[in-house]
Structure 1
Amino acid sequence: MLDGLANWMAANDAVIALVILFAMVVSFALERVPPVTTAVVAAAACFAFGLIPQEEALLPFSNSAPISIAALFMLTAALQRTGVLDRMAQMVISAAASGSWVSLVLMTLMVLLASAFINNTAVVLVLIPVVIALSETLKISKRRMLIPLSYLSIMGGTLTLIGTSTNLIVAGVATRAGLEPFTIFEISGVGLSVVTAGIPILMLLGYFLLPKGGDPDRKADKPLLFLTDLSLPAAAEAGVALPRSAAVVRHTRTGKPETPETAPPERKDAAEVIGPGERLSVRLTLPELLTIIEQDKFASGIARRSPGEGEETIRVQAILSPNDPNIGRRADQLSYLSARPVRLRGVARYGNQPGPELASTRLRTGDHLLLEGAERAIDALAATSPLIITRDLPEKPFRRESAGFAIAIIAAVIAAAATGLVSLPVAGIIGLGAMLVLGCLTMEDAWRALDPSVLGLIVAMLIVGSALQTTGAVDLIVNTAVPFFMQLSPFWALVAIYALTSLLTEIVTNAAVAVVVTPIVISLAALIGIDPRALVVAVMFGASASFASPVGYQTNTLVYAAGNYRFSDFLKIGVPMNIIIGLISCMAISYFYGV
């Protein structure tokens, strides 16, 4: 009986694969469980039913896609740690001050141009935090901006042959099949048509179909701002500039405190400067405050006792519990400062901000304190006080001295991959090694940057895609459609091939679709009297322009996680985008290739 069942499964493996695919799509749409859970269960089912031969079972784990994305996550962490992303966000926010349209137009142009010559997955991964910062400044939900970021990168990737890896795969398969090699700008006319029409369509559809309302995790997006006092001794030779992101609460210049409203007028884009003998009360993010402390240019915080000579200090974050006796006291009256050799570096709280000076701030339940002291003093404080102490700070100081190295390494990685010198995963791993050697980040930073849910989703979908390809399910779908193509006029055959490629891309990896469909359409072109290059370009655009599913294209997967989207959010706007962009692409291909 078992042998009979095994034989039946072997004879119907393509059907079983399609049933698993259907169940997976239904689960994605219902969203009863996280998408990564659905994908992993579907991958497990493929293994359980023997849809992937044992000797090929581990091949999806060695696919370049998750390795590339993992390397890019880590490289982006270096941009974060060195302050490059923070600076980019400040530049975009400054542009937003000139008007929301100006900043949005600049962001659109940046995404399109970068995606035309750089792997668009890298572009999206780098710009996600910048777009989130811009959404905060413009008071627009990030969920109305991250899907457009992915879609713009997809459209930008169609401008050149090197814009996406899919284009290169299709071109390589076509060349091996006997077609003349594609040039880098051969598809640019079609790509420009898609971009020119796609942007206004995205704006119109986005206005009505993108998620409305606030972000589910809006509070988590806003970093805590720590209030601290900074000063320079009167004997200092010159003033020192603050980071541009620092929000000045009070500036005491000559013994007289000034609020920003009463301070002397200065250029808007000028950084605040502390002169000798002056004191500033400022609000900073935790990474900026830690960076200032590490630089040791200012005196900051409040202390009553100093650590013993030669003792190394550590920094911890403490939260005031409801039964803390210091509730209601001023920060300079904090009892722990007298009892232990610790320094209060800053205070932060959600909601009503503390201030206007650190020393005079009245402490409240839930306030976050940044404390610094010898390890023995912190240990004693944790053992004897009601403070809730976190030793591992959630943020690290910026390594701005390595920012130039980080930018150069990222540029070299992208250039090496774009020119074909080495593959993207190899370039990414080499770049990561260079980042570690040059001090742009630590290995701890690199591991923390990985998003397991995104990587798990991609690997699981690769396994399902491999099962569909191995069992012949993809071939079954394509071969079933071929007789239908032969009954159509050349233009509608072109549309049908684009539609089939686009549909397969939403459920199978685009690389697999490119490899399977390209040779078939080249053979089909001779039967229906169409230039095979036109059909090959249709496969390129159909496999790249994937809008309707968060698992159909890697950039969609990245923003899906970052924006906390629902699967249906992509369906609402992605299905009409697929249809409209598909028709525009086919009309442009028909025009440029004479179909």
Structure 2
Amino acid sequence: MVVFGLETGTALVFALVVLTIVLFVTEALPPDTTAVGLIVVLALFEPWTQVGPVVALSGFSNAATVTILAMYVLSRGIQETGIVRRLGAEVARVTRGDENRLLVATIALAGPIAGVINNTPVVAVFIPMVSELAEEAGVSPSKLLIPLSYASMLGGTLTLIGTATNLVASDLSAQLIGRPFSMFEFTALGAVVLVVGGAYLLTVGRALLPSRVPAGGRTERYGVEEYLARVLVPARSPLVGTPVAEVSGDVQRDLDLDVLDVVRGAEHFVAADSDRDVEARDILTVRGSPTDIRRFCRLADLRYLPGAAVGDEELGGPATGTLVEVVVPSNSDLVGETVGGARLRERYDATVLAIRRAGGELVREAFREVELRAGDAILLQTTAGTASYLHETPDLVVTSELIDVDGMEPLDVPRTLTALGIVGAVVATAALGLAPIVIAALGGVVAMVATGVLSTSDAYESVNWTVIFLLAGVIPLGVALRETGGAALLAELVVASAGVVPPVVVLGLFYVLTGLLANVITPVASVVLLLPIAVRTAESPVVGADPFAFVLAVTFAASTAFMTPVGYQTNLMVYGPGGYRFTDYVRVGAPLQLLLAVVTTVGIALLWGLQPTG
């Protein structure tokens, strides 16, 4: 049967590709749910998709999927030692107060580290450092956070294990042309890309970046000063003798107002963590609109203290609790929940002071019905103990907490050396060809748990299961695209449209196409869909180029998802803290993407050549 001039199977797979892209872009369903749905549909329509149940489920057992899972665990092992955090703190010591040195050091350190460690925890560690040092230097964090994200993405091009995309591309390259990547296959070109990209970020990119978030403390950056006040409790107030928690609950329900902390003589305690009663002469710190605060004073017979300014020092001192900024990651269970439904106060002993939404919109009151979205930055007041716990939960990423070298616990040297030795052994084993990377990585996971660097529960929690399920769904979709002739058909169209242009131009066009697609449907999905088409195009008589060169172009391009906040997880992580708008990523990322299209295409042509071998 023929549909629109296509065989039924080919037409069905094209329809699935289009539907998948639409669902990824609109996020009508979570990406992992879309991926699982793909598995089901591909298997149910086996006569047309050429993908049976075994192949449909092969994404779960795919070497790239298993390796990526293992690399998440290995990265967590390194992160748990505190070595990356210690490096970040040392950068803070060296660059304190100087924007230029801070930017250079951030790019120079985050990039290479991301070549061997998953860049998400690297960026998670560096965001607090950058934010705090920007505050000290009087610089808007907006000038620094996109460069941090981009540098970590560029660092992923240094080694085979730099990104999940590299591992997937290596596996596909082995299937399609019998040539997987070695550990340092493209390190030379990756180093050039990192240097060129870093130079751009230090010059042109720096000039293009806006100052979306004002320089200053956290209360200033979120503009919450006018929503904070202190009130005195006279002896005649009906609040005297009432538990602080009860007062806080009542005013939160009736007035959309929070009691943050209580000053009692020399004592100072956080309301969310207290079971004490209100006493006469207590001073309460409250958050709410100026109208609600004054209404609270009238109803409870309190005295408003207009001269008592409330800022970072008053809310974040050693005795008063901790001000923490967190970001809601895309895989958080909190996405889609309202602030009231998420029960952040009860769950984390934390009070929401403000929310910075995508695009820079600030929400500073009426939080209860606000629906949390991926990328939201939330300013919380909580206890020191809860702040430590927030580092452990996968639902929130802490992005604002001062890293103090002198106050940090000393490194556990034996544990650190063990973790570094395990990762080094994995890299060496794969690089020397003693074992496939998937076996070496799994051996590293066993060693991490067996030596006590990680517990079994830590290992399971470290895996980004959304990415694993996404891979498991899109890998069989790529198989269907090849088996039904869809990849060959698209390659023919590319060749026909390319006409008589040189192979190097076709190579550059694939780089640009892959980069654009990676910005909207994730780098991994773009590689799975485009790499087979790129290989067939290279092998066509008209182009007659080395398919490995095209594999490299697609792989590198997928790591340049600079133009949208959703193109890569680290872009989303800095979206809220930087107060960025969608257009900021386009303004800064588009020139960089075009620059690297030229650099990478020329680099591939010079280092590997475009003439077919053999």
Q: How big is the shift at 1:394?
A: 5.8
Deviations 1:271-324 (A, max 9, x none): xxxxxxxxxxxxxxxxxxxxxxxxxxxxxxxxxxxxxxxxxxxxxx99435874
1:352 matched to 2:352? no
- Secondary structure at the counterpart of residue 352 of structure 1: helix
Matches within 5 A, 1:16-415: 16-31=12-27, 34-42=30-38, 44-50=40-46, 51=49, 52-97=51-96, 99-113=98-112, 118-119=115-116, 122-139=117-134, 140-141=141-142, 144-157=146-159, 164-165=166-167, 176=178, 194-202=193-201, 204-205=204-205, 208=208, 212-213=212-213, 319-320=272-273, 324=277, 352-353=314-315, 400=412, 402-415=415-428
With structure 2 as the length reference, what TM-score do the two structures score? 0.56
Corresponding residue for residue 485 of structure 2: 472
Partners of 2:318 and 2:527 in 1: CA distance:
57
Amino acid at match of 1:67: V
Partners of 2:538 and 2:573 in 1: CA distance:
39
Deviations 1:31-87 (A, max 9, x none): 555544555555554455443322312101112344333323323333343332332
Corresponding residue for residue 276 of structure 1: none
Contact 2:65 2:168 in 1 (8 A): no
Contact 1:60 1:463 in 2 (8 A): yes
Corresponding residue for residue 559 of structure 1: 570
The alignment covers a number of residue pairs equal to: 438
Amino acid at match of 1:99: D
Q: How big is the shift at 1:549?
A: 4.6
- Which of 10, 15, 18 is matched with 1:14 structurally? 10
Partners of 1:556 and 1:325 in 2: CA distance:
50
Residues 1:408 and 1:156: Cα distance change in structure 2 (over 3 Å): closer
Partners of 2:5 and 2:496 in 1: CA distance:
28
Partners of 1:196 and 1:544 in 2: CA distance:
15
1:447 matched to 2:443? no
Contact 1:547 1:578 in 2 (8 A): no
Residues 1:415 and 1:556: Cα distance change in structure 2 (over 3 Å): farther
Amino acid at match of 1:440: V
Residues 1:328 and 1:437: Cα distance change in structure 2 (over 3 Å): farther
Corresponding residue for residue 475 of structure 2: 462
Q: How big is the shift at 1:148?
A: 0.7
Residues 1:329 and 1:130: Cα distance change in structure 2 (over 3 Å): same
Contact 1:501 1:517 in 2 (8 A): no
- Secondary structure at the counterpart of residue 314 of structure 2: coil
Amino acid at match of 2:58: L
Corresponding residue for residue 237 of structure 2: none
Residues 1:550 and 1:578: Cα distance change in structure 2 (over 3 Å): closer
Partners of 1:567 and 1:62 in 2: CA distance:
37
Partners of 2:207 and 2:199 in 1: CA distance:
11
Q: Provide structure 1 residue ranges, at least 5 long, that are not aligned to the other structure.
A: 223-316, 331-348, 359-365, 370-388
Contact 2:475 2:528 in 1 (8 A): no
Deviations 1:74-113 (A, max 9, x none): 2333334333233223222223316333243233234554
Q: How big is the shift at 1:536?
A: 3.4
Corresponding residue for residue 594 of structure 2: 579
Partners of 2:460 and 2:410 in 1: CA distance:
17
Partners of 1:101 and 1:411 in 2: CA distance:
32
Contact 1:210 1:573 in 2 (8 A): no
Partners of 2:23 and 2:517 in 1: CA distance:
18
% identity of equivalent residues: 21
- Which of 519, 539, 542 is matched with 2:551 structurally? 539
Partners of 1:572 and 1:55 in 2: CA distance:
45
Residues 1:424 and 1:557: Cα distance change in structure 2 (over 3 Å): farther
Corresponding residue for residue 520 of structure 1: 536
Partners of 1:183 and 1:57 in 2: CA distance:
27
Partners of 2:527 and 2:83 in 1: CA distance:
32
Q: Provide structure 2 residue ranges, at least 5 long, that are not aligned to the other structure.
A: 135-140, 223-269, 284-310, 321-344, 350-384, 393-408
Partners of 1:455 and 1:324 in 2: CA distance:
50
Amino acid at match of 2:151: L
Q: How big is the shift at 1:409?
A: 1.7
Contact 1:461 1:509 in 2 (8 A): yes
Partners of 1:416 and 1:97 in 2: CA distance:
39
Residues 1:145 and 1:170: Cα distance change in structure 2 (over 3 Å): same
Corresponding residue for residue 262 of structure 1: none
With structure 1 as the length reference, what TM-score do the two structures score? 0.57
Partners of 2:281 and 2:466 in 1: CA distance:
43
Range with bigger deviation, 189-198 or 580-589: 189-198
Residues 1:354 and 1:176: Cα distance change in structure 2 (over 3 Å): closer
Partners of 1:193 and 1:14 in 2: CA distance:
40
Partners of 2:61 and 2:181 in 1: CA distance:
28
1:435 matched to 2:448? yes
Partners of 1:458 and 1:210 in 2: CA distance:
35
Q: How big is the shift at 1:476?
A: 2.0
**Root-mean-square deviation over aligned CA pairs:** 5.3
